[in-house]
Structure 1
């Protein structure tokens, strides 16, 4: 009993300390996200060849989430969950390149900006088009795309260096050879890729300024400048850094390919190289925060937006999990998840409870002491601060998924999955069977019945489609 009381007292003191920090000096927030990086695509997951020393260091010194879930198995919906804390179908983003983030939907940038934060977005946006006037990327400038005009500077961001969708991960304005993937059938190598970087209304960056440079470096260069300016102005900041790597087309510099010369398949070698380049950019961020002496009061989060692209012969690794991008099996939605906050979380820890990109908004608002706007709709995510303190060890409510007729619900121990609308739900003991190899529906029918009912209740709360 004395030990239990001491443990409880420590947790209460930790939470009181966090509240005091929020009241005295609101923490800076950096949300970093990779694009299509698999659960196994990091060195700390014992990848046989991939080098990610900076992510490995972050995992060793901060918080490692062993069950971090993207909000969806594809890009745009997950990005919506990061900013809203709500399931993507609640505001009309069913899949990638569809819908947009409505201005009426409360989002993290707009909320923190209203509270006095400087806000910046850097990299891939994918929550709407960025121009109405010229052809750009997948939807920009088209008749259909105009109604989905929803740029970050119109959604609460002060500073932007943003693209609508994917670009090559090196020399981003130029079309790479077809082996890089993500290249149109009739596209000519060396021609303009067709997706611009935008900094504001009708303000795109000239191609020459981006030529022959690593894309992750370009993104982090802008982000670190924003951070420096924010610190210089003595203002707290929110930086959203959404890399394109390692989404196709994958291209790496000669230097970043060097550790992987034994890999003779071009796409695989460049895939590994562009992740190493992205990892180096994460290292630059961490060093920059230390140099500015703001690392202690800055929360840095890292994850990916979904599992790896392609099937078994594609370069990305799901780390042995079943499924890949577009699947609601673990390989499509369980991704690397890390967090550092050196001034408050002084000891490394591993969190086994399921956590999600849905949890960013409630957790960040809790840490900063900023309330949800009055009248804001209910959230699907949960505040992770009690989990980080140790006051909570299990997730208080499940993580819901609904995507293209597929469905899933994730709890601490159990998970139900429906791979298609015409298929039945299967039940997995996900804590003991992360590869989802054995359906437990027959041995635990009451668990399945309860969880299916819970998912149906969630489904009934969604707007009619």
Structure 2
């Protein structure tokens, strides 16, 4: 009885503190192609991530946190809107420099929700939700007041002659050819093309610090979204981190990202708002295993990027808020979909009047309680209305209706990770993820029919409610839309070169 009363008292205290305090600030950190097993706090023996490890040690570490896609653009769309990417049309695959489409401007992002409550909003890093004609889809059109970053993946432009590590170590590989070099944009203007990778992270951390400081000076609550380029291929790092990790180039780039996290936390401390700021960290999808030692680790999870196995869509996640979130670990089921409704509740903002797929996580965060989420749906890289959901998690059970490997996960000992043939499973493969998170042991026989039947009913109900939006990626590409610092120059793309100090 005493333990129960203590819990009630703690909940009441937290509720009162939330009600009386100034509106909380939010910092959302989003890593790129980071595997479940890549951080020191998630078990990697040679990664140096002291700042993220410190957030995990003093915050809440999630063991069962999911993103909605095993590739970049759709995962980011779902994160920012609280809706599966099929609703907003960010499928199949990812957006490109010359993509005609992008995240529709009638979608309501976290930034728009928080701006309605007077928040200052900024994004620093990788957008990857479209550029479009005259910047139609840039962050500044989606509720962000300020933006500094590369508007898509930094491998979506030729990189063979670019320097990724000091003093002049060229980037590993060639990246995409025949398109413009990657631009660094400030709001809607190109500041530098190609971006200087050696100075990029320094520019990002300075931008983030200045944004926080200005918001505090103006007595404004703020939302900072930092979708990092790290640890996506090709890895890069500046002079402060190159060669400093025992894990090689991947480790150096991860360490540089961790350093930026540390500088953001330091700024929050120096400006006196750390205790009124919720920091949430996760990643966009699993590791690109085809890059081998340069591609990350899914730990004990099966496969990686591009697949609907656990390694493709289960991500490390950490929530940190001193005095509000008690240190520990939660096994509650949660998703990137849940961030928008959680931030909205804490800010006292009204949820958008659309079909949301996210749920409020405050019971998990503040009470170490159960999740409002009991199910999660795994969409493949290229979903369609016929095959739709590939797998469903219900409580601790996961049923695979379809499996398909991916080139992104090529090279692992498990041939299923790279088997490109689409396999239909009837009855579906069934795993108990609590006992078998590596998905090794299919639960067979009549003893498990009731679980399969329950999941089947959940799947049918969900798919009946899903309305696929028009595919934005299906609208195609137009090279004239590729961002160029010298409009109408020739010959394009080679003429799109502008150097300036960051």
CA pair 234-217 structure 1, distance change in 2 beyond 3 A: same
SS at match of 1:79: helix
- What's the counterpart of residue 445 of structure 1? 449
- The answer for the alignment partner of 2:142 in structure 1 is 155
Seen in structure 2, the aligned counterparts of structure 1 residues 360 and 394 have a Cα distance that, compared at 3 Å, is: closer
- Distance apart, 1:206 and its partner CA: 2.9
The C-alpha deviation readout for 1:246-272, integer Å capped at 9, x for no partner, is 1111123455243446x6xxxxx2111
User: Of 286, 309, 313, which residue of structure 1 is paired with 2:288?
Assistant: 309
1:393 to 370, 390, 393: 370
- The answer to whether 1:416 aligns with 2:399 is yes
Cα–Cα, structure 1 residues 439 and 395, in superposed 2: closer, same or farther, change >3 Å?
farther
In the TM superposition, 1:23-102 aligns within 5 A as 24-94=21-91, 95-97=93-95, 99-102=101-104
Contact 2:197–2:237 at 8 Å: present in 1 too?
A: no
**Residues 168 and 103 of structure 1, relative CA distance in 2, 3 Å threshold:** closer
Question: Alignment partner of 2:274: what SS?
Answer: coil
After TM superposition, the structure 1 stretch with the greater mean CA deviation from structure 2, 351-360 or 435-444, is 435-444
Select the residue among 291, 294, 300 that pairs with 1:320: 300
Q: What SS does the aligned partner of 1:128 have? A: coil
- Contact 1:62–1:348, Cα closer than 8 Å, also in 2: yes
Residues 1:419 and 1:12: Cα distance change in structure 2 (over 3 Å) = farther
- Given candidates 286, 289, 298, the residue that maps to 2:265 is 286
Q: Work out the CA distance in 1 between the residues paired with 2:8 and 2:435.
A: 28
Distance in 1 separating the partners of 2:4 and 2:196:
59
Task: Answer whether contact 2:363 2:371 (CA < 8 A) is retained.
Answer: no
Q: Distance in 1 between matches of 2:155 and 2:102?
A: 23
Check the 8 A contact 1:214/1:277 in 2, yes or no: no
What is the number of equivalent residue pairs in this alignment?
430
Contact 1:182 1:248 in 2 (8 A): no
- The aligned counterpart of 1:175 is 162
Match of 1:435 in 2: 438
Cα RMSD for the two superposed structures? 2.6
- For residues 92-128 of structure 1, the C-alpha deviation after alignment (integer angstroms, 9 at most, x for no partner) is 0113117521111121111211221111111111111
Q: Hey, what does 1:204 align to over in structure 2?
A: 190
User: 1:337 aligns to what SS in structure 2?
Assistant: strand
Alpha-carbon distance between aligned partners in 1 of 2:59 and 2:270, rounded to the nearest angstrom: 18
In structure 2, the residue matched to 1:6 is 6
Residue 202 of structure 2 is aligned with which of 204, 217, 221?
217
Moved over 4 A (4+): 176-179
CA contact (8 A) 2:67 2:313 kept: yes
What SS is found at the alignment partner of 1:393? coil
Q: Summarize the Cα distance change of 1:214–1:430 in structure 2 as closer, same or farther, 3 Å threshold.
A: farther
Q: 1:185 to 1:100 in 2, by over 3 A?
A: closer
Residues 319 and 365 in structure 2, CA contact (< 8 A), matched pair in contact too: no
Q: CA, structure 1 residues 358+218, in 2 after alignment: closer, same or farther (shift >3 Å)?
A: same
SS in 1 for 2:37: coil
Pick which of 325-334 and 447-456 moved more: 447-456
Are the structure 2 counterparts of residues 253 and 216 from structure 1 closer, same or farther at C-alpha, using a change threshold of 3 Å? closer
Task: Tell me the SS of whatever aligns to 2:123.
Answer: strand
1:147-179 per-residue CA deviation (whole Å, 9 max, x = no partner) reads xx411101111111132212269xx99635786
In structure 1, the residue corresponding to 2:337 is in which secondary structure?
Answer: helix
Cα distance in 1 for partners of 2:205, 2:171 equals: 26
Q: CA deviation at 1:311?
A: 3.4
Structure 1, 323-332 or 42-51: larger mean CA deviation: 42-51
> Quick one: distance in 1 between partners of 2:46 and 2:77?
33
CA distance in 2, matches of 1:461, 1:212: 44
Unaligned stretches of 5+ residues in structure 1: 134-145, 188-192, 264-268
Partner of 2:114: 112
Normalising by structure 2, we get a TM-score of 0.80
Helix, strand or coil at the partner of 1:282? helix
Deviation at 1:14, TM superposition (A): 2.5
**Structure 1 contact 168–215 (Cα < 8 Å) conserved:** no
Residue of structure 2 equivalent to 1:377:
354
Q: Distance in 1 between matches of 2:300 and 2:257?
A: 23
